[in-house]
Structure 1
């Protein structure tokens, strides 16, 4: 026979988790309604996709720089995710790991400089 008292801490933990997650979802919505931050207008309710407002035809051409900025963001986001484990394990990897990361950062810096020089980061 299983003693149900063993499950009491788990049930308390689950209850607290449900209460906190519900509060984190609904409390900000309630506060924004009470403080007047919820004020929809035509500008807020308009569609907004791909870095510019929607227009005539879905097949019309638009500037590709939006994608270049998005890809750059992803690259530097991945760089940050590679830097943390590298920094934590640097005592294990030693000079080999340090040199590999410096080469990686130099390649990214050269790519950023090239992108900057070509004007991909200039937004009109």
Structure 2
């Protein structure tokens, strides 16, 4: 019984050891700042341009709503891949169930669209 868990135990010990080694090497070999870095060095920097976003900036609720809806529909569509790969093995029943699933996704998308959740405000 213990032999079946031995590879997992060895992997965990090695992973912990490598992580500890990297942390120790960073503290020994990494740069040490004698003074506090300037505020210019702490500014956000993206794509070669300074960021225009203020520190207190908050995204609107529509941003999060659209992001969640995208994730929801994206993850549901991923469930279609295994059926598409093995459709012959599953048969006609799987094809009908897949069509029902797609129709339900379409109904949900139309509902969300009609409610105005996809409108950027």
**Using the alignment, how far apart are the partners of 1:41 and 1:63 within structure 2?**
22
Q: Give the TM-score of the pair, scaled to structure 1.
A: 0.51
Aligned length: 76
The match for 1:106 is: 103
Shift of 1:66: 2.6
Q: Give the TM-score of the pair, scaled to structure 2.
A: 0.52
The match for 1:68 is: 65
The match for 1:41 is: 50
Decide whether the 8 Å contact of 2:83 with 2:94 is kept in 1.
yes
**Using the alignment, how far apart are the partners of 1:78 and 1:47 within structure 2?**
33
Shift of 1:99: 0.9
Q: Does structure 1 residue 54 correspond to structure 2 residue 57?
A: yes
CA-atom RMSD in angstroms: 2.6
**Using the alignment, how far apart are the partners of 2:61 and 2:81 within structure 1?**
31
Alignment of 1:1-124 (within 5 A): 39-43=48-52, 46=53, 54=57, 63-124=60-121
Decide whether the 8 Å contact of 2:63 with 2:120 is kept in 1.
no
* Structure 2 gaps, min length 5: 1-45
**1 or 2 for the larger relative contact order (CA 8 Å, sep ≥6)?**
2
* Structure 1 gaps, min length 5: 1-36, 56-61
Helix, strand or coil at the partner of 2:118: coil
Helix, strand or coil at the partner of 1:119: coil
